[in-house]
């Protein structure tokens, strides 16, 4: 799971940088699309990665605790 999340993080970062020139031709409210993806889109994806990781680890800890009879 950690590997997949790190790969998602890497692809998100790499794709925004790699396609920045092509996306700069498109604009939203006068700002290039690459600006919005770098400033907002990547941040939201990073936040989703962190949220998913926290949610999944909490679920795995509950399973682990129930298998061990509540002992940590």
List per-block mean pLDDT (blocks of 10 residues) for the chain, which spans 72 residues: 93 82 78 77 91 96 84 61
For residue 66, the model assigns a pLDDT of: 86
For residue 9, the model assigns a pLDDT of: 92
Rounded Cα distance between 41 and 31, Å, is 14
Task: Find, among 61, 63, 42, the residue nearest to 53 by Cα.
Answer: 61
């Amino acid at each position: 799971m950690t590997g997949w999340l790190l790969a998602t993080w890497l692809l998100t970062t790499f794709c925004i940088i790699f396609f920045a020139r092509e996306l700069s031709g498109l604009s939203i409210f006068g700002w290039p699309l690459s600006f919005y993806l770098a400033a907002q889109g990547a941040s939201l994806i990073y936040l989703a990665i962190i949220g998913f990781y926290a949610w999944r680890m909490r679920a795995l800890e509950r399973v682990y605790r129930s298998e061990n009879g509540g002992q940590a």
